[in-house]
Structure 1
């Protein structure tokens, strides 16, 4: 995943292909008998050409994939240290973990997952999906903390102080506020690629009371393309979901388990007709879980070229390139780990009058709770004492 290593691998692959071809041609010329009939010479030349093609295609394919991966890494990820950055929202990080390795001193990695509604014919970007993935770096066990788009009285945080923001302003508009007013960010010596995402990241960090060093943002169009690139995503629809007939001719996603196309998956996670924002949030997390489980290495390899193109064009993140090798190893552990979910929705909280102190307390308790659910669970405003639900249990 390091660009220098990828360049070296590409160069070695090309050299290997040339050496194999030269070896075959040289061997043919050395062993070619004198006085060979033209027809046999043609047959021999054809055979040598086919052999050269067979031996150069694999290393050249490796070089091509290496080129695509290098473009993807350079185009999507940023320069930065190989360890998570300091908290951006003013919250104190967790206690250092023992041991060495890339996650020494980082018991949990928090990444803000954002879904933007930018698409053809939709000006501006509103982040209608905001989920913090908190990953135990030792086990891969993950807690998803989801904030509703319509959260009000938002304590927008610059990184150093609270930013004036309308009381009825919604959380999903903070991104646009940061994009329109990049000067709101308190300087911290770093170059910010996306001031809207940075302001939202710092605000979510302040709301949840935990460090949020990185974000990943995907817009609606690219999500649709990602699903199509991997051949669809299989989900179980509990009840019929109305969708626009202009998007899906049937006008509804019927109940049952099936493989959804990119367009169907998009509206499965986007439709609010006949339900609510909070039901939609649950479906969105089920989509993320299903994609993560179904995107096997073979599936990714088959769709590699298309996926790298989509990610390069449509995915935004501030994850540094030098952290990628450690993230790849961590991602392998997440596939087999337990993923639990906590949604800050009614009756747990009132989005119109949220108790931010209670939200912080519930978030802190959620990440401390044992993965098996044997310990306590978020109580807070709802006063409950049950384990966090395992995501797979609610996603069919």
Structure 2
């Protein structure tokens, strides 16, 4: 049996044993755990000397990553000593095996994987008003953090104005495993958005209770696995979703995005001050659409300057603790092009002014180690 108590095929020959051992290095691209651990390897059979047939069971018939899994298995087995040829076949799990997998995955995690005591750092990206580039910042930070080797998840909680799928170029749909949802993985980021479940351009006309339930499902019904960082792209303002986030993700920290404009900074400060009521910490402020330097060296401050520092200083006074300005992202055509094409600027143009600024913010956010320091353990003397 696997670590999850699921099916592991019997092997008879040394070659079959070596192949099965190698398959433990192949991860399911959605669940991000070894296919052997998930009970996906139905059989490993040496059909002739040096020739092996591997049968892998997919979770559903219409699995969008069938080809990826076949290729990963073939590549892993190709250089096993004594293996001259491999035939990778696929099947589909029976309803009973699929339910057993779902139950095993659920049993291996708490009902709310980001509740009290979670080691995952949750960053809720907020803004006082729309149009400040909050979602663009969120998408780029997620990709930049993943590029640094962190396990990253991203919830598009801006249900009425969802844009994360387009900004990241998401084309795959989530896989539904009965009552569990497997999120698409794009640029090493696990992503979920209401836009993945709707026809393109379809509006979402929901009120508070439905918005809360949608976020709750994104948190508890999606199989996130073991994450280092979870980013939540909040809608503008301080409405239902912002309050629900504080309830469902009690250890979440706010990242406040503003433009340099004084009027925008005033509104952004209100979003940050929500932390005073919800008990959340403010991880910092990010200034977007900051002054840009033209080729001739002229600095063009379309939206003014200093709004980010103004918000940070104001929040520090209200909250009574230091709130850093994590960075100023200048106006940059490369950032806009990356958003339009679904190719984040931190990857498509990393040396652009915006690409460097966003990478710098990600570097500052990634420095906090993940561990048990400062946490109370459930231990007592006997």
Give TM-score scaled by structure 2 length: 0.26
When Rg is computed on C-alpha atoms for both structures, the one with the higher figure is: 1
Give TM-score scaled by structure 1 length: 0.25
Point out the structure with the larger strand share.
2
Q: Which has the higher contact order (CA 8 A, sep 6+)?
A: 1
Point out the structure with the larger helix share.
1
